[in-house]
Amino acid sequence: MKFRKATTDDCTLINSIASRIWAPTYSHLMSGEQLDYMFEMMYSPDNLHKAMTEGGQNFLIFLHEGAPAGYVSYEILPDHDFYLQKIYLLPALQGKGVGRAMLTLLLNYLRELDPMARRLGLNVNRQNLKAVYFYLRNGFEVVSRRDHHIGNGYYMNDYILERDI
């Protein structure tokens, strides 16, 4: 598994990868209307471009056997901390250690980016037990909970997790 830094030219590619991951990941947790609303909000090429140019998100595209298989988005925070906005992997590769490899590569990359890197935080849907357990098995701990209104009457009901880098 390898990765490369994404540029704004990759917004359509990230949208394409996300379209293959989004529904299988969340259809059991959200209505179709909420899935569509959130996908547009986060993954339209225009909104991805805005996240990269105005929102402080840095994207990495992960390649498995040479083909795009997933992506990560992170933000650089003060005091040598980082926030993991997104980490997604194609469903066919989940449960095979590929996600763990992505996380390991990301952590190593963040250490290279900032040798004083301290913590990596993230939010995860409290009902997405597969993801919650993935993070717990990979050194994260729950530090709090958050219910965040995202518009249209929808909420993100998350655990906030952190781990040392």
Strand order in the sheet with 154-164: 2-5, 58-64, 67-76, 82-89, 119-125, 154-164, 141-151
Least confident of 8-17, 102-111, 131-140, 148-157: 148-157
For domain 2-121, the CATH superfamily is Gcn5-related N-acetyltransferase (GNAT) (3.40.630.30)
Torsion of CA 105, 107, 109, 115, to 10 degrees: -150
pTM: 0.91
pLDDT per position as a tens digit, 13-49? 999 999 999 889 888 887 888 888 888 988 999 999 9
